[in-house]
Structure 1
Amino acid sequence: MEKVIIRDDFIKLGQAMKLAGMVGSGVDAKMLIQDGQVEVNGEVEYQRGKKLHEGDVITFNGESVQIGK
């Protein structure tokens, strides 16, 4: 599983998706999240600004990425 390394205590979901290369822009992330196509820790997430912390896992389109430090 790929990791997205963060320096702060958290990163927002849309930003993490961009950093991981799952989407090309924040607009893409917003649309996919609002459509219920993104999961965080196994549950569908509808908030683009959801704060993710170390150990959280984003899943989209069969690809998973874990937040790390």
Structure 2
Amino acid sequence: MEFVNIHTEFITLGQLLKLKKIIDTGGQAKHFLQENDVWVNGEKENRRGRKLYPNDRIRIQNYGEYQIIGNQ
């Protein structure tokens, strides 16, 4: 599992995809989420605007697992 440190209250799922270089632009997020399985805290998710907070766990099929952490 890879930890993703954020400096704000939350980031969106689309921002996470860009941050981890899974997609190049925010416009690609919708298509990516339609074509790939993504789970947030064990529930399947397809909304690019889903807010991710510290301690959320994200699993992206064929890409890995991530956990959001806040400023420490």
TM-score, normalising length: structure 1: 0.82
Aligned residues: CA RMSD: 1.6
Which residue of structure 2 aligns with residue 11 of structure 1? 11
Aligned to 2:69: 68
* Structure 1 unmatched ranges of 5 or more: none
Q: Which runs of 5+ in 2 are unaligned?
A: none
Contact 1:14 1:26 in 2 (8 A): yes
In structure 1, the partner of 2:50 is 50
Change (3 A) 1:16 1:48: same
How far apart are the structure 2 equivalents of 1:21 and 1:29? 11
- Aligned partner of 1:25 in structure 2 is 25
Rg larger in 1 or in 2?
A: 2
Q: Which moved more, 1:4-13 or 1:14-23?
A: 14-23
Matching residue's letter, 2:9: D
The runs of 4+ residues in structure 1 deviating greater than 3 Å are none
Aligned twin of 2:34: 34
Q: Which amino acid aligns with 2:68?
A: I
Identity %, equivalent residues? 42
